[in-house]
Amino acid sequence: MAILEIKNLKVKVGNGIILDGVSLSLKRGEVHAIFGPNGSGKTSLISSIIGIPSYKIIEGRITFDGKDITRLPIYERAKLGIFCAFQNPPSIRGLKVKDFIRLFTGDEKNVLEFSGLNSNFLEREVNVGFSGGERKKFEVVQIFALKPKLLLLDEIDSGVDVESLKFIGKKLAEYVQKNKISVLVVTHHGEILNYLKPSKASVMLNGEIVCSGDYKKIWKTIREKGYEWCEKCKLRKK
Amino acid sequence: MQVEKEIKKNVKKVGIDLDKQSPKYLQLDYNPLIQYSNIEGLEILNTRDALKKYPWLKSYFWKLVDKDKDEYTRYSFANDFNGYFIRARKNVKVQIPIQACLYLNTNELIQNVHNIIIAEEGSELNILTGCTVARHTAGKHIGISEFFLKKNSKVNFTMIHAWNEYTEVFPRTGAFLEENSTFVSNYILLTPTRKLETSPKVLASRNSKAILKSLLLGRKNSFVDVGGEIILKGSNSSGLVESRIVARDSSKIISRGKIVVEGEDSKGHIECRGLLVSGKSEIDTIPELISKNKKSELTHEASVGKIKDEELWYLMSRGLNEGEATNLIIGGFLNPEFLEIPDVLRVQIRKIIEETKEKS
Please indicate if any CB of chain A lies within 8 Å of the CB of B79. no
User: Quick check: B360 pLDDT over 60?
Assistant: no
The pLDDT, as a whole number, for residue B342 is 84
> Which among B213, B198, B334 has a CA at the least distance from the CA of B269?
B213
Strand partners, B209: B182, B238
Q: Average pLDDT, whole number, for chain B? A: 94
User: Quick check: A25 pLDDT over 80?
Assistant: yes
What is the rounded end-to-end Cα distance, in angstroms, of chain A? 30
Please indicate if any CB of chain B lies within 8 Å of the CB of A50. yes
Spell A219-234 as b/e; 16+ CB within 10 A means b.
bebbeeeebeebeebe
Please indicate if any CB of chain B lies within 8 Å of the CB of A15. no
pLDDT band at A60 (very low <50, low <70, confident <90, very high): very high
The residue of chain B with its CA nearest to that of A52 is B313
The torsion region of residue A8 among left (phi > 0), alpha (psi -120 to 50) and beta comes to left
Read off the DSSP letter of residue B59.
G
Top-confidence residue, A123 or A106 = A123
Cross-chain Cβ contact A73/B316 below 8 Å: yes
- CB neighbours of B132 closer than 8 A, spacing ≥ 6? B10, B11, B13, B14, B101, B103, B104, B161, B162, B163
Across residues B234-258, what is the average pLDDT? 96
Of A53, A89, A99, the CB nearest to B314: A89
User: Quick check: B1 pLDDT over 60?
Assistant: no
CA B232 to chain A, closest CA, distance in angstroms equals 31
- ipTM value > 0.90: yes
CA A236 to chain B, closest CA, distance in angstroms equals 40
The pLDDT, as a whole number, for residue B296 is 95
The pLDDT, as a whole number, for residue B336 is 85
User: Quick check: B355 pLDDT over 80?
Assistant: no
CA A125 to chain B, closest CA, distance in angstroms equals 9
Q: Which helix (H) or strand (E) holds B197?
A: strand B195-198
User: Quick check: B313 pLDDT over 90?
Assistant: yes
Amino acid present at A228: E
Residue A152: list chain B partners with CB under 8 A.
Answer: none
Cross-chain Cβ contact B328/A95 below 8 Å: yes
Each residue's pLDDT tens digit, B122-136: 999 999 999 999 888
* Helix A162-179 vs helix A132-146: crossing angle, to nearest 10: 10
Please indicate if any CB of chain A lies within 8 Å of the CB of B317. yes
Top-confidence residue, B162 or B88 = B88
